[in-house]
Amino acid sequence: MGSFGGGLGANGEVCGAVIGGLAVLGLKFSRSEDDENEDLRMWSFARELLWRFANEITKGSIYCRDIAKVDWTNMERIKRFYKSDALIECKRITGETARLVGELLDRAEEVKPLVFTKNT
């Protein structure tokens, strides 16, 4: 999971906390066997995660380059980032995202699964 950091392998792309959250939702709601059906609640929870991340947690973006404001190709800037308050902010964002994923999983326990089968 460490390679999610820095926006997917230090490329400044989607924040690793979001990717990790989506991975958890996929593990919860996706198929574990080929003959199983996915729980379609996965999509609504994923949309909510992305919306709330951008609008509540970071107040603007899901992209690491916008959030951390670091050039992940420049070693000097990376070193400065790891010595700055920006690192503390990333840890806050990661914690808030984990809390949000937990909230979504808790809510999923209260809602009936939504699955379509071949006979539906």
Mean pLDDT by 10 residues, the chain (120 residues): 80 92 91 74 93 96 93 93 93 97 93 62
Which pLDDT does position 8 carry in this prediction?
81
Q: What is the pTM of this model?
A: 0.84
Six token digits for residue 104: 């979504």
Residues 7/1, Cβ–Cβ less than 8 Å: no
CB neighbour burial string for 56-86, b if at least 16 within 10 angstroms, e if fewer:
ebbeeebbbbebbebebeeeeebeebeeeee
Which pLDDT does position 116 carry in this prediction?
60
Instruction: Enumerate the β-bridge partners of residue 14.
Output: 63
